[in-house]
Amino acid sequence: MSDSISAPAALAGAGDTGMFAWWRAADGRARHAFVAASLGWMLDSFDVMLYSLVLASLIQDPTLQLSTAVAGQLGALTLLSAAAGGVVFGVLADRIGRKQALMAAVLIYSVFTAACGLVQNVAQLAICRILLGFGMGGEWATGVALVSETFPARHRGKALAFVQSSWAIGYGLAALVNLIVMPVWGWRGVFFVGVLPALFTLWIRRKVEEPELWRRTPDAARGRISELFTPARARVTVFIILMNACCLFGWWGLNLWVPAYLNLPAERGGVGLTSSAMSWFVIAMQVGMWFGYVSFGYIADAIGRKRAYVGFVLMASLLLPLYGYLREPLYLLLLGPFVAFFGTGYYSGFGAVIAELYPTSVRATAAGVGYNVGRIASAVAPFVVGSMAGTQGFGVAFAITGAAFFLAALAWLGIPDTANRELTA
């Protein structure tokens, strides 16, 4: 069965091969779904990455008495709760609809990001990060299903690439907010800004429609996790979880600690940049990240998800250790965008792979399980990298993240290619 894109829209884009053919081929419903998923993911990134940007300030705040090891444990707790939220919201998105699940996820992560600005001790911060993570984990699976079911198959990879690229924009905005707000109101003020995404739910409520594919799916068939582990799907599901666990370990091990690595003084293993300089370095990395996300979509639509994915993660496995051993700011500034390009760009393909391997009845569930069960294993990354950085230095710590990316490439031996496969109900 073909995608839910309308026939006139599909025909209109049939001969269009321009860079933005994927947008011109979409109807109004698909475009609203794209905007909702993109802004939801961008604001998700904005909220969750505020923590990494103020991490050095939290560690140096005498009120909280936060060590690098405990800071890593808080990062791990956030990822564990995100894993739970991703699975729960994936099932909910299949059962009650993509739109309702998306609004709930955005509200949760917005409110509890702002609440981080009110904490007085580590225990309170941990509670807020756990609840924030629950909402953060729920947004991705919902948005991926929403976009996958409304865009034409030939443009699905590109559409999802632009959705994924909004993470880099959100991270860059977070760095900009840190640059502006931190000198005036401190880390608490930075967290308070994180409540703004809650307003976005009003637009979702008015503009977004449920995909036709989802509405045609019988209620009784929706959201069954057991369907992911039938004899025909179990092997692929397991390898997807393993691959994603390795990728997420590498991603969070690097990105949660890059701002602290750049900001901490040399005697604590860092580069010693000021908070403002660190923010600019992070913004430069987000430029590379954005291009990585977008480029991956075009590459994957052209040569297949598998070859593009393996190429990106292998490059990441080589660049990450090098980044951790450098101390010269100029070299880090130049290398950073390339690290972000290869170390994150591959995520543009994950949503398309999931959408093309699983039916509508469990598409969001598969995204939630494949992405977030893998996140459980990756939840140890912030703690491992933080602990290794404190004892062995960031060079060794980031080398571990590089090894994780190499293992992710090996996991693709058990995952079939799915380029441009038509979606089925």
- In this model, does residue 2 exceed pLDDT 80? no
Quick check: 142 and 102 in contact, CB under 8 A? Answer: yes
Highest mean pLDDT among 74-78, 228-232, 313-317, 366-370: 313-317
Please tell me the distance from the alpha carbon of residue 124 to that of residue 248, in angstroms, as a whole number. Answer: 26
The predicted pLDDT at position 405 comes to 94
CB atoms within 10 A of CB 16: 13
The predicted pLDDT at position 5 comes to 38
Q: How confident is the model at residue 311 (pLDDT cuts 50, 70, 90)?
A: very high
The predicted pLDDT at position 341 comes to 94
Q: Tell me the average pLDDT across 247-265.
A: 82
The predicted pLDDT at position 338 comes to 94
* Short-list 281, 286, 306, CA closest to 296: 306
* Short-list 39, 31, 45, CA closest to 208: 31
Q: What would the two tokens of residue 424 be?
A: 């089925």
For the chain, the domains span 26-208+225-414
Q: Tell me the average pLDDT across 387-408.
A: 84
Q: What would the two tokens of residue 345 be?
A: 């760009």
pLDDT in tens, 335-392: 999 999 999 888 888 877 888 888 878 888 888 888 878 777 777 777 787 777 777 7
* Short-list 160, 88, 104, 130, CA closest to 364: 88
Q: How confident is the model at residue 6 (pLDDT cuts 50, 70, 90)?
A: very low
Q: What would the two tokens of residue 416 be?
A: 């079939």
Angle at 278 between CA 291 and CA 190, to 5 degrees: 95
% of the chain residues with pLDDT over 70:
93
- In this model, does residue 68 exceed pLDDT 80? no
Topology of the domain comprising 26-208+225-414: Growth Hormone; Chain: A; (1.20.1250)
Please tell me the distance from the alpha carbon of residue 190 to that of residue 194, in angstroms, as a whole number. Answer: 7
The predicted pLDDT at position 424 comes to 60
Quick check: 248 and 378 in contact, CB under 8 A? Answer: yes
Helix (H, G, I), strand (E, B) or coil at 120: coil
The predicted pLDDT at position 385 comes to 78
Q: What would the two tokens of residue 255 be?
A: 């990105």
The model scores a pTM over 0.85 = no
- In this model, does residue 103 exceed pLDDT 80? yes
Please tell me the distance from the alpha carbon of residue 319 to that of residue 283, in angstroms, as a whole number. Answer: 19
Structure-token match 């559409």, residue found: 159
Q: Residue-wise over 56-67: b if at least 16 C-beta within 10 A, else e?
A: bbbbeeeebebe
Close Cβ partners of 9 (under 8 Å, ≥ 6 residues apart): 25, 26, 27, 30, 152
The predicted pLDDT at position 310 comes to 93
The predicted pLDDT at position 17 comes to 63
The predicted pLDDT at position 337 comes to 93
Position with higher pLDDT, 406 vs 62: 406
- In this model, does residue 82 exceed pLDDT 80? yes
Position with higher pLDDT, 268 vs 147: 147
Quick check: 2 and 27 in contact, CB under 8 A? Answer: no
The predicted pLDDT at position 90 comes to 84
- In this model, does residue 270 exceed pLDDT 90? no
- In this model, does residue 200 exceed pLDDT 70? yes
Q: Tell me the average pLDDT across 401-407.
A: 92
Question: Concatenated DSSP letters for 33-61?
Answer: HHHHHHHHHHHHHHHHHHHHHHHHHHHH-
- In this model, does residue 8 exceed pLDDT 70? no
Helix (H, G, I), strand (E, B) or coil at 98: helix
- In this model, does residue 75 exceed pLDDT 80? no
Lowest mean pLDDT of 85-89, 159-163, 373-377, name the range: 373-377
**What torsion do the CA atoms of 163, 166, 369, 311 make, to the nearest 10 degrees?**
80
Specify the long-range contacts of residues 326-335, CB closer than 8 Å, at least 24 apart.
327/266, 327/271, 329/271, 329/273, 329/277, 329/281, 332/262, 332/271, 332/281, 333/281, 333/284
Mean pLDDT computed over every residue of the chain = 81
pLDDT in tens, 231-249: 888 999 999 999 999 998 8
Residue type at 329? P
- In this model, does residue 190 exceed pLDDT 50? yes
Lowest mean pLDDT of 108-112, 207-211, 309-313, 420-424, name the range: 420-424
Please tell me the distance from the alpha carbon of residue 292 to that of residue 382, in angstroms, as a whole number. Answer: 23
